[in-house]
Structure 1
């Protein structure tokens, strides 16, 4: 053996392998660990679903036309499929095969990140072929190269809606950015928004992967599979199809609760629940309301009721909804307008156009509007959301009215299938647990804290359930138009 051969750096072969796997994480994950040995004795390689994800990334990078377009992958699954292992393997691939790689990993809580996600990813680094290249700490992994330690790194950042600035400066032009979300279903929507706006570097490989159990059927993780599905590559993985999961326990869950139960959907099948634990109106019911198609003859005998929910804050909208029997539609959705006279004129025009039998206005910000309407000779009703309900089973009037929407939907109520805002408003609100058993709906402020918009369209529709309304019939007396209320009993007949 020559002296030059004896002096060969063993890192050279590793570096050559890493360079060859730059666009091929699937190959790297098979070469960088001693599969079938030690802790991996029972595993001959990554699981099938992990190979699938790695293959998607490889295909994306191998194509020069897609390489520098952001790749977004969402994985919803049951329990025990090996999400943390996949994050560990991908993190090690990016750090090993790319110079100055930047990886940011977050989870729903600091406890989850510090005690579960980070240690699991660190384990895959320590056992990797390149384990000696990196310094694995509790909340970061850095290259040991002293000239690159601050630019070649993975950071574990416990973000919340009050700490979204960690994305500021997340740039790595010309190299790679890997962004990983663990327990994505519980990560605040504001964090998603910041992530979306931050990953904008040109000529940069940007990969954003989110993992989670589908515990909620609202929020941004849910929308990866619905409203924003055109942006994401989606995978929903049944735990029963993955080697290494406790098949007997999973089958017991199915036997005890049923294949289509929400518990089995979430914990086993990787499917979103029909109704979250605290959700008031289920997605299933809202979907049915979207699919209802009514002929005029099925509702035009009923009174026409208009609900008006004025905007509360600058980013809210003033919403005006109409309901006639099982039919509903949005009449207006406009930016906040503090000119009460202008808003009153709009309502009056819509009232006349649709020959409304009643107009109900949220009293919170609607007193000036109703006062302006009184000057016009209008008889609109102010409804206090915090007022006393007719049904003692509800905490307040707002809860009772939204309860009316729920009953209306179950009775066959129809909503516009193209009105995404109304749909999201309907499935968004959750109930608040109470010792007295009364139904309480979370406030608009609480919904905003969860990252959801104020459900103004729902509140406008709910106002159409504020009070019983009788249909009027038009008549003329002394040449002046007027109305008579239709009742079941007319004492003057």
Structure 2
């Protein structure tokens, strides 16, 4: 599936512990002891060109680097996606990976330009550039290498240079047919820098953000939340390094089991410090967030680990588009496990009702839930255009034959439970409770961004009030239609005349 940006839909890759328990991928014996032999070729031939699409082979064969799975995930990501964001704990080879990618691009990709940056000059010069120069020297590589990252490294028609992100003016106007920005500790970078970079992205540049997830605002945070559909995201916990998994030093410099246990004892497993610096999780969101990122991550994990076979009773939440750029969403739900939603744009009420019936029929056949087994409750946001959809379904002979039980929901009505202003507020908080109680979440980056977006306040009577859909749309750049459809799907309408109750 393609995202709105025309790239493959973003997904989050995570190194798994099981891979490290069996073997350390890419481990080369004595690679740290013996420098690779220099590569020789005629002056008019680039001897590294054969690695142009194989950064892992370049790292192992040319640099003599001991690889591990997380590094391979990042290398694979930058080959396939223009925008890659990596959140991680400490001691997972972030700076080494950035330096290796820069060397690979300069040596192997003709006429490329690579910009290395970080929030401070010290980080650029004393960490990333120092690592790049060391790898270059150890492997006895050709090219013009300078001590100052601003002067850079050049080979044939390619170059790498670096400067801190507090020098915003240097970001503007950088161009090249194969241009890449690599930003270390991106969570602490000012938004003005990303605005300058965005202007360069129009020419086809790519960007890699690597950071401990220290801030819950800004471009890096949005890459994993509200704008996740635009990014390929990777999560690396310090607990997944080969050293931690094996309980001994496999790759010097990576996090060890002793270090992880020490930090767990010092900070506590649930502390923000442990979550950020070891597990690579963002700290708890703002106190007035309805649904925290941690709930989303846990729900995704449950979905991935649960059996994929769905059968039997299901409900369908339907959020009907009100405007031309909004989306109509049909979200099926099999108890705690959502099915794959269907989305439509610019459809009239009759067409939407037809899509509902088509999908119910499709799901009944696919998941062994015939009409004789029971009804399918179709819960429609009845405000505005949704009212026309519910009317059509109520009077449709086909809907009756399919066993559709139409359940109109007026989210603008007063809440049916104490503590909330409107039914919409109640539904959003019930969705949060549903995640806490074991709800699962299918891989849908648009939906994830919408779920973590809403904030809430309290009215003069002390009732929780979720921010308006219009305000959410201003921040998201779109209406939270998928999240609204899921909120409808998890609710069960009570018998006629009674209040809704959460499932």
Q: What band does the TM-score fall into relative to the shorter chain?
A: 0.5 to 0.7
Q: Check 1:233–1:113 CA distance in 2 against 1; reply closer, same or farther (3 A cut).
A: same
1:95-115 superposed Cα distances (whole Å, 9 cap, x missing partner): 5787744113467xxxx3777
Question: What corresponds to 1:64 in structure 2?
Answer: none
Question: What corresponds to 2:350 in structure 1?
Answer: 341
Q: 2 CA distance for matches of 1:209 and 1:441?
A: 34
1:397-435 superposed Cα distances (whole Å, 9 cap, x missing partner): 33321322343455566x6x8x53399449842452647
1:201-222 superposed Cα distances (whole Å, 9 cap, x missing partner): xxxxxx9765333568997669
Q: 2 CA distance for matches of 1:460 and 1:213?
A: 33
Q: Check 1:449–1:319 CA distance in 2 against 1; reply closer, same or farther (3 A cut).
A: same
Q: Check 1:196–1:315 CA distance in 2 against 1; reply closer, same or farther (3 A cut).
A: farther
**Which structure would you say has the larger RCO, counting Cα contacts within 8 Å and 6 or more residues apart?**
2
* Kept after mapping to 1: 8 A contact 2:414/2:423: yes
1:446-489 superposed Cα distances (whole Å, 9 cap, x missing partner): 777777975433312312466742289xxxxxxxxxxxx9xxxx
Question: What corresponds to 1:360 in structure 2?
Answer: 380
1:247-297 superposed Cα distances (whole Å, 9 cap, x missing partner): 998655311444576752431245x5798675444332454367377875x
Q: 2 CA distance for matches of 1:275 and 1:342?
A: 42
**TM-score scaled by length of structure 2:** 0.52
1:214-237 superposed Cα distances (whole Å, 9 cap, x missing partner): 568997669xxx9999x9998654
Q: Check 1:253–1:120 CA distance in 2 against 1; reply closer, same or farther (3 A cut).
A: closer
Q: Say which of 374, 386, 397 aligns to 2:423.
A: 397
Question: What corresponds to 2:211 in structure 1?
Answer: 212
Q: 2 CA distance for matches of 1:21 and 1:51?
A: 23
Do residues 282 (structure 1) and 269 (structure 2) align?
no
How does 1:240-389 map onto structure 2 within 5 Å? Answer: 243=253, 251-259=261-269, 263-270=273-280, 272=281, 279-280=291-292, 281-288=295-302, 291=306, 296=312, 306-312=316-322, 316-321=326-331, 326=335, 333-344=342-353, 346-347=355-356, 355=375, 359-363=379-383, 365-370=385-390, 381-384=408-411, 388-389=414-415
* Kept after mapping to 2: 8 A contact 1:75/1:212: yes
Do residues 461 (structure 1) and 482 (structure 2) align?
no
| Structure 2: stretches of 5+ with no match in the other structure | 1-37, 52-57, 245-251, 362-370, 398-404, 499-503
Q: Check 1:285–1:125 CA distance in 2 against 1; reply closer, same or farther (3 A cut).
A: closer
Q: 2 CA distance for matches of 1:373 and 1:265?
A: 48
Q: Check 1:295–1:257 CA distance in 2 against 1; reply closer, same or farther (3 A cut).
A: farther
Instruction: Tell me the SS of whatever aligns to 1:363.
Output: coil
Shift of residue 119, structure 1, vs aligned partner? 7.4
Question: What corresponds to 2:182 in structure 1?
Answer: 180
* Kept after mapping to 1: 8 A contact 2:87/2:211: yes
Q: 2 CA distance for matches of 1:379 and 1:319?
A: 16
Q: Check 1:170–1:454 CA distance in 2 against 1; reply closer, same or farther (3 A cut).
A: farther
Shift of residue 321, structure 1, vs aligned partner? 3.7
1:74-131 superposed Cα distances (whole Å, 9 cap, x missing partner): 8653235663465356536755787744113467xxxx37774477545667898799
Instruction: Tell me the SS of whatever aligns to 1:420.
Output: coil
Question: What corresponds to 2:177 in structure 1?
Answer: 171
Question: What corresponds to 1:63 in structure 2?
Answer: none
Instruction: Tell me the SS of whatever aligns to 2:329.
Output: strand
Q: Check 1:453–1:287 CA distance in 2 against 1; reply closer, same or farther (3 A cut).
A: farther
Q: 2 CA distance for matches of 1:250 and 1:412?
A: 28
Q: Say which of 457, 474, 495 aligns to 1:470.
A: 495
| Structure 1: stretches of 5+ with no match in the other structure | 1-13, 31-45, 61-67, 200-206, 473-484, 486-493
Q: 2 CA distance for matches of 1:441 and 1:213?
A: 30
Q: 1 CA distance for matches of 2:390 and 2:125?
A: 57
How does 1:17-166 map onto structure 2 within 5 Å? Answer: 76-79=87-90, 83-84=94-95, 87-88=98-99, 91=102, 95=106, 100-105=111-116, 112=119, 116-117=123-124, 120-121=127-128, 134=146, 136=148, 141=151, 152-154=159-161
Question: What corresponds to 2:364 in structure 1?
Answer: none
Larger CA deviation: 356-365 vs 419-428:
419-428
Q: 2 CA distance for matches of 1:210 and 1:96?
A: 21
Q: 2 CA distance for matches of 1:426 and 1:121?
A: 31
User: What is the number of residues matched between the two proteins?
Assistant: 393
Q: 2 CA distance for matches of 1:450 and 1:118?
A: 36
Question: What corresponds to 1:11 in structure 2?
Answer: none
* Kept after mapping to 2: 8 A contact 1:307/1:464: yes
Question: What corresponds to 1:488 in structure 2?
Answer: none
Q: 1 CA distance for matches of 2:346 and 2:476?
A: 24
Question: What corresponds to 2:27 in structure 1?
Answer: none
Q: 2 CA distance for matches of 1:286 and 1:444?
A: 25
